[in-house]
């Protein structure tokens, strides 16, 4: 019976974690391009 609320809560937790993961991944990629770690020729 307690399984369902836990699963919905877990979905919400995953969503929030993905939010932060997206922020970190996006900003790291931006920094990598601006600092020249990812040159323009590398992205098809």
Stated as kind and residue range, the H or E segment containing 23 is helix 3-34
- The residues of the shown chain that bind other proteins, judged by CB under 8 A, are 3-16, 18-27, 29-30, 33-34, 38-40, 43-44
For the bound state, the minimum distance from the C-beta of residue 37 to other proteins, rounded and expressed in Å, comes to 11
Give the shortest CB-39-to-other proteins separation in angstroms: 8
Q: Shortest approach of other proteins to residue 27 CB, angstroms? A: 6
Instruction: Map tokens 């997206």 to a residue.
Output: 22
CB atoms within 10 A of CB 33: 14
């Amino acid at each position: 019976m307690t399984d369902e609320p836990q699963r919905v809560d877990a979905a919400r937790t995953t969503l929030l974690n993905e939010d932060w993961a997206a922020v970190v991944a996006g900003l790291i990629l931006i920094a990598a391009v601006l600092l020249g770690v990812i040159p323009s020729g590398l992205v098809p």
